[in-house]
Amino acid sequence: MVLIAFMGTVAAWWWFKVSCHDVSENGQHFTRELREIARLNARAAIAQSIASICAVVLWLTGAYVYQG
């Protein structure tokens, strides 16, 4: 459960950084900035995938069953 929360937070942080990334007006470093945006987006997607896989594994193993 902690891993799911941590990876979800990491994914949200990287997607937040992508959404706040400004592309320069002059276009001088446009390719480099697009590469940086793509790298951050890929990291966020990987973190979200890990969190989703952990959630599915916990669900399949019965870890989400209410014990009360």
Alpha-carbon gap, residue 66 to 23, rounded angstroms: 48
Residue 40 is encoded by which pair of tokens?
A: 């951050």
| DSSP designation for 65 | S
Residue 16 is encoded by which pair of tokens?
A: 């937040």
Q: Is the pLDDT of residue 64 over 70?
A: no
Tens of pLDDT along 14-37? 788 888 877 777 777 888 888 888
Q: What is the DSSP string of 11-41?
A: HHHHHHHHHHPPPPSS-TTHHHHHHHHHHHH
pTM of the model as a whole: 0.69
